[in-house]
Amino acid sequence: MNSDWHCFIKAQKGDEKSWRLLIEKYQTRLSALALLITGSSTAVDDIVQDTFLKAMAAKIKNSDGTVQGYLGTIAYRLAVKESKRNQRYVEISELDRHESGDNPLENILNNERDRMVASAINNLDNAHRDILLLRFYAGLSYDEIAVLLDIPLGTVKSRIFYAVKSCRDMLTEKGVL
């Protein structure tokens, strides 16, 4: 059992320090995942909170995957459910990034780059967009994505390849890469 799972189990047993470590480590990625799927900055906090609550209440039967993948799967399902409820598309302009750093120019350039990357991802069709979000924001492995979406492993690999290629082409065209 890796250290993240050990921390997770301790958090489930009520260890406040472990709970905080998990939140600090995974909250930002889960928030980005929820925002890109729902398009609602108001829904993000609820989805992330519900993700942690569901995870802490769950009985873990198998810790072969990663904690990030486990939490990402919960967040993905909650975000898709919320998105279907609201039937909204992602508004990239709602992406609120909290930058830490002393260089304001660097922060502005990073924000702009992040917006362009998010825009490229958002321009993909749903099948390719979801695969990228699950892989790079939720941190799921190819196998975990295949199981979650009930598609063959080869399809997951193919969609990731073509999604990354499409994003790279869009970003190259805009001069980001």
d(CA 117, CA 83): 21
DSSP state of 134: I
Q: Pick the residue with more confidence: 161 or 3?
A: 161
% the chain with pLDDT above 70:
86
pTM of the model: 0.70
d(CA 79, CA 73): 10
**DSSP string over 40-59:** -HHHHHHHHHHHHHHHHHS-
Query: Tokens for 14?
Result: 């009520």
Q: How confident is the model at residue 108 (pLDDT cuts 50, 70, 90)?
A: low
* Segment 76-94, tens digit of pLDDT: 999 989 888 876 444 444 4
pLDDT of 155 > 90? The answer is yes
d(CA 13, CA 54): 14
% the chain with pLDDT above 90:
40
d(CA 36, CA 130): 9
- Please state the rounded mean pLDDT for residues 91-112: 56
Write down the pLDDT at residue 89: 46
All domains of the chain in start order, with CATH: 1-91 (1.10.1740.10), 103-177 (1.10.10.10)
* Segment 18-65, tens digit of pLDDT: 999 999 999 998 998 888 888 778 889 999 999 999 999 988 877 778
Mean pLDDT of the chain, nearest integer: 84
